[in-house]
Every structure is written in C-alpha cells, then in structure tokens.
Amino acid sequence: MNNQIFESVDHYIGDLLGQEDDALLAATHSLAEAGMPAISVSPNQGKFLQLLAQLCNAKNILELGTLAGYSTIWMARALPKDGKLITVEYDPKHAAVAQNNIKRAGLTSQVEIRTGKAIEILPQLAEAGAGPFDMIFIDADKPPYTEYFQWALRLSRPGTLIVADNVIRDGKVLDENNTEPAVQGARRFNAMLGANAAVSATILQMVGVKEYDGMALAIVK
Ligand SMILES: C[S@@+](CC[C@H](N)C(=O)[O-])C[C@H]1O[C@@H](n2cnc3c(N)ncnc32)[C@H](O)[C@@H]1O
C-alpha cells in the first residue's frame, strides 16, 4: 500500500491541530537516546486520546504499556488537577525513561508508573480497590489483549471508555492463517469484542505516519 498520502495528510492535520510542545518532543527524542523502539502513538493519535479523555470527563485513567510516556502525557493533560493516571510498564528501563519525561512535563503528581507485567499488576489493582477508571487505554503486548480487556471490565463502571490500540495490524487480521502472535492476539481480541454483550464497541481504522492499523473503542454498558 502506498502510504505517502496518508503520511502527508497526517502531517497536515498535526501541523494544524496536534502540535507537540517541548515535553512531548523530548519524550519522542528520549526513545532514540535510550535505544528504545519508536512505537509510541503518533501526535494525532495522542491528541485523539486526549480528546477522548476530555469527552468522558476522565478523572481516573489506566494505561497498559507506557514506553516513554508519550501517550501518557497526552492523556494526563486532559485530567483535572486532582485527576490521576496509572500507567503499567513491564520494562524497568522504559519506566525510568518515562518517569523522567513525565517529570519534564510537570505531571509527576498526577501520574503513577507501576512497573511489572500487566497481567500481574491488574489483579493487584483490583484487589487494592483501584478504580473504577473512567478511561482505560490498552497498548501493551498484544497476545493477552483479551485477558487485559476482561480485567479492564472489572476495573470499570457503566460508561467507562476502553480503548485498545493496534488491533488491525496492517490488515493482517483478515488472514485466519496468519501465525504472528500479535496478529493472533488481535484476531482473538476482536472476535471477543464482537461477541461481548457488556460493551458497545467499534474499531476505527487508522492511517497516517504509522503503519496501517486500528483502534478499538468500547463503552461499558
Ligand atoms: C506500544 S508500547 C506503548 C506505547 C505508549 N502507549 C505510547 O503510545 O507512548 C508497548 C509497551 O508495553 C510494554 N510491555 C510489553 N509487555 C508488557 C507486559 N506484559 N506488561 C506491561 N507492559 C508491557 C513494552 O515494554 C512497551 O514499553
């Protein structure tokens, strides 16, 4: 697929509506400096997540998959002063880089990074009585997305918005014989979502500066 037009239009939209300030630019630069993969959401996707957080008047956000804290910063900026965002990151090096970026963004008091495997932290959060969250963004490893979603439901209330990134995988989810774990995880997640009566959901196809993919949006009934 020729993505040039999607990339150019993404830059056009970003220049108009998704400008990054120094803290966001520094978070992106920190990836290369620390030898981390450039797999953050794009600027326009970050702005989209921020608008979603504002739309649901989020005071309490949960994120799975922090990386350098780029999406974290976009979403946390939608919070009121007494709002809180918990973000879960498996890799301690990523968590340390993110902590620094969050500090630079002036969000230390609102953002808490939990370091560990999401599948272990989620039950801890539930046991500790965390939530219900107003918005939950799932963007960690893809194979257990279905399990992450089940935990997200337990940490939700009616009206909670659950967002899951990377569920279309360049269209590879159409191929039931694809053996990539991330594609299989996304296919399993999408099938579960389609059959889940606890939520009203859709998937938006995403094109732009990143590879062709999709974001699932689900509102808890
Ligand atoms: C796509 S990146 C997150 C990008 C970030 N949300 C952003 O847009 O700026 C995925 C992150 O999930 C982390 N991760 C992978 N497996 C995980 C697990 N089992 N539990 C928690 N985090 C995990 C990776 O280390 C990586 O930092």
Using the predicted structure, report yes or no on whether residue 1 has a pLDDT greater than 60. Answer: no
Which whole number is the average pLDDT over 35-49? 98
Q: How far is the CA of 90 from the centre of ligand 1 (A)?
A: 7
Query: Measured between alpha carbons, how far is 45 from 144 in angstroms, rounded to an integer?
Result: 22
- pLDDT tens string 104-127: 999 999 999 999 999 999 999 999
Residue closest to 119 by CA, chosen among 99, 91, 90, 96 = 90
Write out the H or E segment, with its range, that includes residue 104.
Answer: helix 92-104
- Ligand 1 atom closest to Cα of 27? 9
- Using most ligand atoms within 8 A of CB, pick from 90, 122, 145, 151 the residue to mutate for ligand 1: 90
User: What is the 42 CA–ligand 1 centroid distance (Å)?
Assistant: 15
pLDDT at 76 over 80: yes
The ipTM (two decimal places) reads 0.99
pLDDT band at 61 (very low <50, low <70, confident <90, very high): very high
The two three-digit tokens of residue 107, written as one number: 């969000």
* Closest protein CA for atom 18 of ligand 1: 117
Percent of the chain with pLDDT over 90: 98
Average pLDDT estimate for 180-206? 98
Please give the residue range of the domain that contains residue 128. Answer: 3-220
The CA distance from 206 to 111, in Å, is 27
pLDDT at res. 172: 98
As for ligand 1, residues whose beta carbon falls within 6 Å of it are: 39-41, 64-67, 70-71, 88-91, 94, 117-118, 139-141
Taking the centre of ligand 1 as the mean of its atom positions, its distance from the CA of residue 18, in whole angstroms, is 23
Instruction: Tell me the CA–centroid distance for residue 61 and ligand 1, in Å.
Output: 16
pLDDT at 18: 84
Query: Residue 190 carries which side chain, given as an amino acid letter?
Result: N
What CATH code is carried by the domain that includes residue 95?
3.40.50.150
Could you give the number of structural domains in the chain?
Answer: 1
Distance CA 5, CA 26 (A): 27
Q: Which two tokens stand for residue 145?
A: 């997305």
> Are 172 and 180 a contacting pair, CB within 8 Å?
yes
Taking a C-beta distance cutoff of 8 angstroms, is the pair 72, 87 a contact?
A: yes
pLDDT band (50, 70, 90) for residue 221: very high
